[in-house]
Amino acid sequence: MKQAVVLFAHGARDPAWAGPVRRLAATIAETAPDLVVEVAFLELMEPRLDEAIDRLVERGVRQVRVVPVFLAEGGHLKRDVPVLIDAARDRHPGCELVLVRAVGEDEGVIRAMAAYALAGSGG
């Protein structure tokens, strides 16, 4: 069964803002070459989440894991995104869609950010 991960970010007016999310997608694709990896945005950038999911299903993907690349689970992730996921489930009943917690809620990510801050790294 074809599987995919959608890295879902907020979006911004500045196209350069998406650079880290796109680098994350490239890193995942290198690490797991059999996994389809897409980037999608809530607003201000393309593709939007619904467009990305629709395209994946058209490509034969039947399992999609949506990974919010957000620091925390605020209003968008609590209210807006579940509505988008439910609508995608209605459009694609044969596809398993899973929304996971925001990356910033993960303890490993918190520890990595703390280590970065303590190291005083500038990039």
Which residues are within 8 A (CB) of 54 and not within 5 positions of it... i.e. 6 or more apart? 88, 91, 92
CA–CA dist 3, 96 (Å, integer): 9
How many alpha carbons fall within 13 Å on the CB side of residue 89? 12
Residue 92 falls in the annotated catalytic set: no
Q: Are 66 and 8 in contact (CB under 8 A)?
A: yes
CA distance 118 to 61: 41
- Choosing from 10, 18, 66, 88, which is the catalytic residue? 10
Give me the active site residues, please. 10
